[in-house]
């Protein structure tokens, strides 16, 4: 298969982890006779430094002509601490999601048996967790009208949803549930928000087309509690943009490190794959960033193109690295100095020699 992949490393640890994912994809291409080409582009804080904008036109063009985009991370404490900044790294990420129409963000949360003891949650609470969050990604309060009054004393953001925005992700989530445990939980705040009530209405309607899937509803405050009391109760969680942001980062605790969570962002014409973690500026250029989330995002990319065997090979490599403690410091207390690159190298080796790779 021929694939042209847009690569947007972004800020902080983005470039380091993305480099490992690219390395892994190259190994897959070589082993399985595919032709993957990579086009790098600027986004986020680095794009601001070089071009004055977080999402240069050239980046958009590269992404639009690519078959898929691999995204690193964006963000920089410099802007975080300055509420008056008008140009912000996040505009790069939100902008590309919007430009590519990536409405459906899929965030799997799987408790690895080898990592159960890394979590602040009890092993018995998290063992066998296997859920997936369907987060709406191009609507809601992330993209509603914002306003700051002239005198700077009043600020507002609008959370708006339209029926079709809910329908398209709901269908995707119900379909996912059909091939999983046939349970879908809609998370909203329908006891307060009009937009949540629209979600409830639309999802209830659509559920009639998926009578083999059990639908239930829960409020976001409840969900934030239930997710860590008993994550096994969930199969597919469907929710709007902001609630999905919050729940998925919270869910990283189940898995043991936010450095493990991958995601796929699907649109009608374009697809992008991104770790759910941020730029983590403090950790940049120290070789300590966990590349697994980025590598698993690459695996989701392979899934998307039906390259099942290839995706599985990557996942087996990840599993093996975890089993052998070939992991960065966020997960490791066995060896001291396994760097970002070493983890990538190990998984690359595994791809080439799945039966031989061991710690060396």
Which parts of this chain interact with ligand IPM (CB under 6 A)? 75, 90, 93, 191-192, 221, 245, 276, 278
User: Which is nearer to a second copy, 30 or 148 (by Cβ)?
Assistant: 148
Q: How many residues bind a second copy (CB under 8 A)?
A: 66
Q: Which residues of 210-226 are buried (b: 16+ CB within 10 A; e: fewer)?
A: beebebebbbbeebbeb
Does 263 sit near a second copy (CB under 8 A)? no
Structure tokens at 303: 């899934």
| 256 within 8 A of 118, measured Cβ to Cβ | yes
- CB 227, min distance to a second copy, A: 8
- CB 337, min distance to ligand IPM, A: 29
* 110, β-bridge pairs: 130
Q: Which residues of 255-291 are buried (b: 16+ CB within 10 A; e: fewer)?
A: bbbbbbbbbbbbbeebbbbbbbbbbbbebbeebbbbb
User: Which is nearer to a second copy, 194 or 268 (by Cβ)?
Assistant: 194
User: Which is nearer to a second copy, 183 or 304 (by Cβ)?
Assistant: 183
Structure tokens at 29: 């291409």
Cα–Cα distances (Å) from 259 to 203, 209, 275, 280, 349, in that order, read: 32, 37, 8, 10, 21
Does 234 sit near a second copy (CB under 8 A)? no
- CB 234, min distance to ligand IPM, A: 19
User: Which is nearer to a second copy, 77 or 358 (by Cβ)?
Assistant: 77
User: Which is nearer to a second copy, 99 or 249 (by Cβ)?
Assistant: 249
| 132 within 8 A of 107, measured Cβ to Cβ | yes
* 136, β-bridge pairs: 104
State the binding partner of 175 from ligand IPM, a second copy, none, CB within 5 to 8 A by kind: none
- CB 352, min distance to ligand IPM, A: 32
Report the distance separating Cα 276 and Cα 308, nearest Å.
22
Does 253 sit near a second copy (CB under 8 A)? yes
H or E element that contains 171: helix 163-178
State the binding partner of 204 from ligand IPM, a second copy, none, CB within 5 to 8 A by kind: a second copy
State the binding partner of 152 from a second copy, ligand IPM, none, CB within 5 to 8 A by kind: a second copy
Report the distance separating Cα 3 and Cα 117, nearest Å.
38
Does 78 sit near a second copy (CB under 8 A)? no
Does 201 sit near a second copy (CB under 8 A)? yes
The values of phi and psi at residue 345, to 5°, are: -60, -45
Cα–Cα distances (Å) from 62 to 6, 22, 23, 47, 229, in that order, read: 6, 16, 20, 14, 43
User: Which is nearer to a second copy, 107 or 313 (by Cβ)?
Assistant: 107
- CB 55, min distance to ligand IPM, A: 13
Q: Residue for token digits 């002509």?
A: 65
Which of 37, 65, 156, 333 binds a second copy (CB under 8 A)? It is 156
Does 333 sit near a second copy (CB under 8 A)? no
Packed helices 57-65 and 90-99: angle between N→C axes, nearest 10 degrees: 40
- The residues that touch a second copy, with contacts defined as CB under 8 A, are 75, 79-81, 83-84, 88-90, 94, 119-122, 125, 141-142, 144, 146-148, 152-164, 189-195, 197-198, 200-201, 204, 217, 220-222, 224-225, 228-230, 242, 245-250, 252-253, 258, 278
């Amino acid at each position: 298969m021929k694939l042209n992949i847009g690569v947007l490393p972004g800020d902080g640890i983005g470039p380091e982890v993305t480099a490992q994912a690219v390395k892994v994809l190259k190994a897959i291409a070589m082993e399985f006779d595919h032709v993957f080409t990579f086009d790098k582009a600027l986004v986020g804080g680095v794009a601001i430094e070089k071009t004055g904008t977080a999402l240069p036109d050239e980046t958009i063009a590269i992404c639009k002509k690519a078959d898929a985009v691999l995204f690193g991370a964006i963000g920089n404490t410099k802007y975080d601490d300055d509420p008056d900044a008008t140009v912000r790294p996040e505009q790069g990420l939100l902008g590309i999601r919007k430009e590519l129409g990536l409405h459906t963000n899929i965030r799997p949360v799987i408790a690895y048996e080898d990592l159960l003891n890394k979590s602040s949650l009890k092993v018995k609470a998290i063992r066998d967790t296997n859920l997936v969050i369907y987060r709406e990604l191009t609507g809601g309060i992330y993209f509603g009208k914002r306003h700051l009054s002239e005198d700077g004393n009043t600020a507002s953001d609008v959370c708006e949803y339209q029926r079709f925005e809910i329908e398209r992700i709901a269908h995707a989530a119900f379909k996912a549930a059909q091939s999983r445990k046939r349970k879908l939980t809609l998370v909203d705040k329908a006891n307060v928000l009009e937009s949540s009530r629209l979600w409830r209405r639309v999802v209830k309607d659509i559920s009639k087309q998926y009578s083999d899937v059990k639908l239930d509803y829960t409020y976001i405050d409840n969900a934030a509690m239930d997710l860590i009391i008993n994550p096994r109760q969930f199969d597919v969680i469907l929710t709007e943009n902001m609630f999905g942001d919050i729940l998925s980062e919270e869910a990283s605790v189940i898995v043991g490190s936010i450095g493990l969570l991958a995601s796929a962002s699907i649109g009608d014409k374009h697809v992008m794959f991104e770790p759910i973690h941020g730029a983590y500026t403090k950790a940049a250029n120290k070789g300590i960033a966990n590349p697994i989330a980025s590598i698993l995002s690459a695996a989701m990319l392979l899934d998307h193109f039906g390259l099942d065997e290839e995706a599985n090979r990557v996942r087996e490599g990840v599993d093996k690295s975890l089993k052998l403690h070939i992991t960065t410091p966020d997960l490791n207390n066995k060896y001291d100095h396994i760097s970002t690159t070493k983890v990538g190298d190990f998984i690359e080796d595994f791809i080439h020699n799945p039966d031989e790779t061991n710690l060396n």
